[in-house]
Chains A and B, each alone.
Chain A
Amino acid sequence: MSENQKFPAIEMRGVNVTAMRDASFLVVEDVNWSVAAGEFWVIGGQEHSGKSDLLMLAAGLMPPGSGSCKLFGSDLGSFGEAEPTQRRRVGLVFQGAQLFSQLTVAENIALPLRYHKNLTGTDAAAEVKSLLDLMELAPLADVTPANVAANWRQRAALARALILKPEILLLDDPLAGLGARHRQWWLRFLDQLARGHGQPLTIVVAADDLHPWKSEWRKFALLHEKKFAALGSWNQVETSDHPGVKELLAVHLETTI
């Protein structure tokens, strides 16, 4: 049994999530959640329900207010010097991309690889180019993020998160503000990533609209009124009596109508 299968990819026990910008503000309380390696989870919730903060915590960007959060069996609170190594096992795509504005798209993607493997720009070029080609970003390689449309910036952020070949990929509302063609591309690409080639990737997506993610093999959870609820498959989402689920699905219906 590989190390990845021995421990859950993410395991939270009694975790209180505080706000990224204000550690004294409790956003979600008492999260008990386990994500097995290779699973694809979608966390739904309204705006300001704490989705982003939960992802930041899972990515190791902030400690839990209380409780324990483990990645592959290692406690987030005790990463210490091992923290950067652990963090490299997790890729995070922020809502709004958050690319480095001083660097070009190609330099943005190359930076983590160059930093962690101590490579020159030339050494990293081949790997960056293959990722640029795969994600249809090659024509934008030498452009700075300010001159790239939001659709493509988000894709560049995904490429930057993938360049270190993470074992867990966390995505904060990746479909927000994307055009229909790009949304399709993302859903297809993430499915391919989740299935992987030999080693499937664990994916957790935060979204305020669950419908695009509707699928039998994905798992769903909900953040509602500071509570976390693991719902299960899409069937269970649709049949759920949880008021938060009804609210989320109703919002989608309203926007569709």
Chain B
Amino acid sequence: MRGNLARTFELTNTQLFRRAPLPRSYTDFLGRKLFLFLLTVQGLGAFALITLGVILKKSGVAKNVIRPRIRQEIARAGVALLPMFSFVALALGFLVIGQTVSVLAKVGAISYLGSTMVIVVVRELGPLLTAVLVLARVGTANVIELGTARALGEVEALEALGIDPVHYLIVPRVIGMVLGIFSLTVYLIIGALASGYLFAFLQDVPMTPGDYFKQITESLGWLDFALLALKTITFGFFIAVVTCYHGLAQPLRLEEVSRVAVRAVTQGVIVCVLIDALFIVLYLVA
């Protein structure tokens, strides 16, 4: 049971943060920052492992309660964001792809279009942009909701009722965000590629939709599909973990919630960039 989870984090994190002496020199300052960074990594790692453990261990527990909550979270981190992502897909197509297609056509490098699109949109911009937007829209809400619940004692109330807070509050959010980011990334990529061609067509680029489609499909390999799925799942999992960790695993007062939300979003962006860098290495090695 995660009953004492929060207490564990309180002891390893917050009290230590508060009690650490004020920095007296530059090296003290750096040491303190490094120490806090390591503590955060430790806390996040432990929280991620606990969440993973609960997902696997309690997959069959209280299905009639957890499944509707997962559907709610999928709607929140996926379906509800479709209008915004339609707009972003159009904008991305116009700002990046339309211009890229047009420039490549002008310099006579249109044969590189497929591989350029795959690298820019499928591997990089699509997943990363989706992750950052979902982090801003849903991740922030996670921190605020969980932080408020924690500050108002609702987490203790769950524990008192014998309900595992990680199972009830975190697992649906993690699964919802993983599936939401995966689906929205696919939606964004398809939308951006389609609108990109539309804008290129409006600029009289000499290319039929069939040629455009053919170039892109020829540039896509099985590795792109596999790594895209893996990357979006990793983004979803870690964004949910970072935001839920800051909302739930720390003892909060109501006035601290907004500050913690900002910190969670910052750390979420850093985590996304680090994951992205890791996948670039994977692409290069593979």
Contact with A along B151-175 (1 / 0, CB 8 A): 0111011111111100010000000
Report the stretch among B59-67, B84-92, B121-129, B182-190 that lies at the interface. Answer: B59-67
Q: Given A81, A85, A118, which contacts B65 in the complex, CB threshold below 8 Å?
A: A118
Cβ of B7: which chain A residues have Cβ within 8 Å of it? Answer: 23, 62
Q: Is A98 an interface residue (CB 8 A)?
A: yes
In the bound complex, what is the Cα–Cα distance between A22 and B148 (angstroms)? 19
Contact A101 B154 (CB under 8 A): yes
| Residue contact A94 to B15, C-beta cutoff 8 Å | no
Whether B162 lies near A87 (C-beta < 8 A) is yes
A62 CA to B64 CA, complexed, in Å: 29
Interface string of B1-33 (1 = CB under 8 A from A): 101100100110001000000000000000000
Q: Which residues of A contact B168 (CB under 8 A)?
A: 115
Q: How far is the CA of A90 from the CA of B160 in the complex (A)?
A: 8
A232 an interface residue at 8 Å Cβ cutoff? no
| Beta-carbon nearest neighbor of A80 in chain B | B1
CA separation between A111 and B160, bound complex, in Å? 12
> Cβ of A83 and Cβ of B1 under 8 Å apart?
yes
Interface size in chain B (residues, C-beta < 8 A): 29
Give, as a whole number of angstroms, the nearest-CB distance from B118 to chain A: 42
Tell me if B251 and A21 are in contact (CB < 8 A). Answer: yes
Evaluate whether A98 and B65 lie within 8 angstroms (CB atoms) in the complex, with A61-B159, A112-B161 already known. Answer: no
Question: Which residues of chain A are within 8 angstroms of B1 by Cβ–Cβ distance?
Answer: 79, 81, 83-84
Q: Is A102 an interface residue (CB 8 A)?
A: yes
Are B64 and A112 in contact, CB atoms less than 8 angstroms apart? no
In the complex with contacts A116-B162, A118-B64, A98-B154 CB distance below 8 A:
yes
Q: B220 at the A/B interface (Cβ < 8 Å)?
A: no
A78-113 interface bits toward B, Cβ cutoff 8 Å, 1 = contact, 0 = none: 010101110110101010101111100000000110
Contact B65 A111 (CB under 8 A): yes
Residue contact A118 to B62, C-beta cutoff 8 Å: yes
How many whole Å from A103's CB to the nearest CB in chain B? 10
Q: Does B145 contact A (CB under 8 A)?
A: yes
Q: Which B residues touch A164, using CB under 8 A?
A: 161-162
Cα A92 to Cα B3 with chains together (Å): 15
CA distance A21 to B64 in the complex (A): 33
Roughly how many angstroms separate A7 CA and B99 CA in the complex, as a whole number?
A: 78
Q: Contacting B157 at CB < 8 Å: which of A90, A100, A102?
A: A100
List A contacts of B156 (CB < 8 A): 20, 56, 61, 94, 98
Chain A contacts of B63 at CB under 8 A? 118
CA distance A94 to B160 in the complex (A): 10
- On whether the beta carbons of B64 and A111 are closer than 8 Å, the reply is no
Measured CA separation A85–B1 after assembly (Å): 11
* Residue A114 lies at the interface, judged by CB distance under 8 Å to chain B: yes
Give A101 to B158 CA distance when docked, in angstroms: 12
A119 at the interface (CB under 8 A from B): yes
List chain B residues, Cβ under 8 A from A87. 159-162
> Do B153 and A119 touch (CB < 8 A)?
no
Best-surrounded residue of B3, B15, B158, B164 (most CB of chain A within 10 A)? B3
Residues of B within 8 A of A28 (CB): none
A60 beta carbon closer than 8 Å to chain B:
yes
Q: Please indicate the chain B residues that have their CB under 8 angstroms from the CB of A23 in the complex.
A: 7, 10-11
The closest CB in chain A to the CB of B145 belongs to A102
> A87 vs B162: C-alpha distance in the bound complex, in angstroms?
6
CA A83 to CA B4, docked complex, whole Å: 12
Bound-state CA distance A79–B145 (Å) is 30
Assembled-state Cα–Cα distance A24/B156 (Å):
19
CB neighbours (8 Å) of B162 from chain A are 83-85, 87-88, 112, 115-116, 164
**Contact across chains for A84 and B153 when beta carbons are under 8 A apart:** no
Question: Which A residues lie within 8 Å of B159 (CB)?
Answer: 61, 87
User: Residue on A with the closest CB to B164?
Assistant: A84
Q: Does residue B149 face the partner (Cβ distance < 8 Å to A)?
A: yes
User: How distant is the Cα of A87 from the Cα of B158 in the complex, in angstroms?
Assistant: 11
Inter-chain CA distance A251–B254, complex, in Å, is 32
> Bound complex: CA of A84 vs CA of B164, how far in Å?
8
List residues of chain A with CB within 8 A of the CB of B11: 23
**Nearest chain A CB to B181's CB is how many angstroms away?**
23
Q: When A60-B3, A83-B3, A118-B64 are in contact, do A101 and B148 touch as well, CB less than 8 Å?
A: yes
| Nearest residue, chain B, Cβ from A119 | B64
In angstroms, Cα B64 to Cα A99, docked, is: 21
The residues in B between 250 and 272 inclusive whose CB is less than 8 angstroms from any CB of A are 251
Q: What are some 28 contacts across the A-B interface (CB < 8 A)?
A: A21-B251, A22-B15, A23-B7, A59-B160, A62-B7, A63-B4, A84-B162, A88-B162, A94-B156, A94-B157, A94-B160, A98-B152, A98-B153, A100-B158, A101-B149, A101-B152, A101-B154, A111-B65, A112-B161, A112-B163, A114-B65, A116-B162, A116-B163, A118-B63, A118-B64, A123-B64, A164-B161, A164-B162
Top-5 shortest CB links A-B:
A87-B162, A84-B162, A92-B160, A98-B157, A112-B161
**Given A62-B4, A116-B62, 6 more pairs with CB closer than 8 A:** A84-B1, A84-B162, A87-B161, A112-B161, A114-B65, A118-B65
